[in-house]
Chain A
């Protein structure tokens, strides 16, 4: 039987890639990363990871 993917890892992977992309765009000069962008992005990423972790935690 095929095992279903780990939801927490999927969400965390996507969030980490998104944060890395922000850094890369800033390093390339395509965008100017500021706290007004980083703050909400970090909160959203951490929130999504914790939410996924809570949803998949065995009871």
Chain B
């Protein structure tokens, strides 16, 4: 009997499962969706984990950015199942980056390095998001695409930073009207462009310029008066200026040796950014009408701080007593009013409040 044995072709070895960033069901870059598919669990678990870890020193964000760069996307994998890696050096750089991240953790001494890399991961993520908004190109494709978009987004952020500084400086230097007109012109261009040719790239710079100038205006920062330290010690009421003005720095008005008449004596202070100190004799009553955009007002034993600080403290005084009417406008910083107590000692060059409440004396010259 003739037996014919028919050899079956060897079964192809099963393809190992591959971790890929999912194209469908993704929220951002498809990392969590891909992990869910790989481990056959609901991807929401990975999303929750990533968000929670993002608040634990930014580890989740760092891992997400690393996965964005290193894990290939579904649409970048060719028919052969091999990812179309176009920029191998980026993958190598990513591996080196991961090693740099991991070794300090393993050695237990990587807080310094992590302190540098985690902000870098935030920057990359911000760059990807910015480019996504501007161009509509999300974090899909291979590592090279993601890195390129992140770099373009970071470049846009850098330009916006320069615009913010320039806009804030222009508004503080008295050019608020010009900045406002520039913002409106940009808005009109964006609006008209929507019907002709969209200019989404202009949105972020325009909003940045508006918010920078708006912050300066809301804080009331005015750089008129120069920059530096000013120390005024008038001898009499006739030597008092109409307005003590400084753009940025430290403004000291020492009235301890000033011969002040009885009755109301106005004192106007206008400071953009910094600290203004008004030092008064013991027998003077001080009435304060102050506005501080961001910062604090300390007048004797009273303290107000925060944003949009308004202080109206107008106590009466006897007719034979000097009442100093301090009308102050500070953009960002502090206004301090007090007597020649230990905490106002000018010889020390600064207020030394330390951990204790400052001793600025009492507004004892006012009528009770």
- In the complex, identify which listed stretch (B157-165, B178-186, B313-321) lies at the interface while the others stay far away: B178-186
Instruction: Indicate whether B65 reaches chain A with its CB closer than 8 angstroms.
Output: no
A20 and B184 in contact, given A38-B218, A58-B136 (Cβ under 8 angstroms): yes
For B203, the chain A residues whose CB sits under 8 A away are: 8-9, 12, 16, 49
A19 near B199 with CB under 8 A, answer no
- In the complex, identify which listed stretch (B88-96, B187-195, B254-262, B279-287) lies at the interface while the others stay far away: B187-195
Q: Which residues in chain B, 208-227, are within 8 Å of chain A measured between CB atoms?
A: 210-211, 213-215, 217-219
A6 and B194 in contact, given A12-B200, A23-B180, A57-B136 (Cβ under 8 angstroms): yes
CA distance A5 to B186 in the complex (A): 17
Instruction: Indicate whether B293 reaches chain A with its CB closer than 8 angstroms.
Output: yes
Instruction: Indicate whether B101 reaches chain A with its CB closer than 8 angstroms.
Output: no
CA distance A7 to B207 in the complex (A): 17
Instruction: Indicate whether A28 reaches chain B with its CB closer than 8 angstroms.
Output: yes
For A23, the chain B residues whose CB sits under 8 A away are: 171, 176, 179-180, 183, 210, 213-214, 217
CA distance A58 to B217 in the complex (A): 38
CA distance A53 to B203 in the complex (A): 11
Instruction: Indicate whether B362 reaches chain A with its CB closer than 8 angstroms.
Output: no
B207 near A14 with CB under 8 A, answer no
| Other-chain residue from A35, A50, A53 in contact with B218 (beta carbon distance below 8 A) | A35
A35 and B176 in contact, given A10-B194, A12-B200 (Cβ under 8 angstroms): no
Instruction: Indicate whether A37 reaches chain B with its CB closer than 8 angstroms.
Output: yes
Which residue of chain A lies nearest to B178 when distances are taken between CB atoms in the complex? A27
Instruction: Indicate whether B40 reaches chain A with its CB closer than 8 angstroms.
Output: no
Chain B contact residues, majority secondary structure = helix
A14 near B180 with CB under 8 A, answer no
Most chain-B CB neighbours within 10 Å: which of A7, A13, A49?
A13
| Other-chain residue from B133, B180, B198 in contact with A24 (beta carbon distance below 8 A) | B180
B214 near A17 with CB under 8 A, answer no
For A35, the chain B residues whose CB sits under 8 A away are: 218-219, 293-294, 307-308
A13 near B194 with CB under 8 A, answer yes
| Other-chain residue from A14, A21, A24 in contact with B177 (beta carbon distance below 8 A) | A24
A20 and B307 in contact, given A13-B188, A27-B176, A53-B133 (Cβ under 8 angstroms): no
Instruction: Indicate whether B154 reaches chain A with its CB closer than 8 angstroms.
Output: no
Instruction: Indicate whether B276 reaches chain A with its CB closer than 8 angstroms.
Output: no
Instruction: Indicate whether B206 reaches chain A with its CB closer than 8 angstroms.
Output: yes
A26 near B184 with CB under 8 A, answer no
A21 and B193 in contact, given A27-B176, A38-B218, A57-B136 (Cβ under 8 angstroms): no
Q: In the complex, how many residues of chain A place their beta carbon closer than 8 angstroms to a beta carbon of chain B?
A: 37
> Smallest distance from the beta carbon of A18 to chain B beta carbons, Å?
8
| Other-chain residue from B177, B200, B213 in contact with A8 (beta carbon distance below 8 A) | B200
A5 near B194 with CB under 8 A, answer yes
For A38, the chain B residues whose CB sits under 8 A away are: 211, 214-215, 217-218
For A34, the chain B residues whose CB sits under 8 A away are: 218, 308
A13 near B181 with CB under 8 A, answer no
A20 near B218 with CB under 8 A, answer no
For A17, the chain B residues whose CB sits under 8 A away are: 184, 187-188, 191
> Smallest distance from the beta carbon of A59 to chain B beta carbons, Å?
10
CA distance A32 to B182 in the complex (A): 20
Instruction: Indicate whether A55 reaches chain B with its CB closer than 8 angstroms.
Output: no
Q: Which residues in chain B, 298-352, are within 8 Å of chain A measured between CB atoms?
A: 307-308
For B176, the chain A residues whose CB sits under 8 A away are: 23, 26-27
Sampled A-B contacts (12; CB under 8 Å): A13-B188, A13-B192, A13-B194, A14-B187, A17-B191, A20-B183, A20-B186, A20-B210, A23-B176, A27-B177, A27-B180, A33-B218
Residues of A at the B interface (CB closer than 8 Å) are 5-10, 12-24, 26-28, 33-38, 41-42, 45-46, 49-50, 53, 57-58
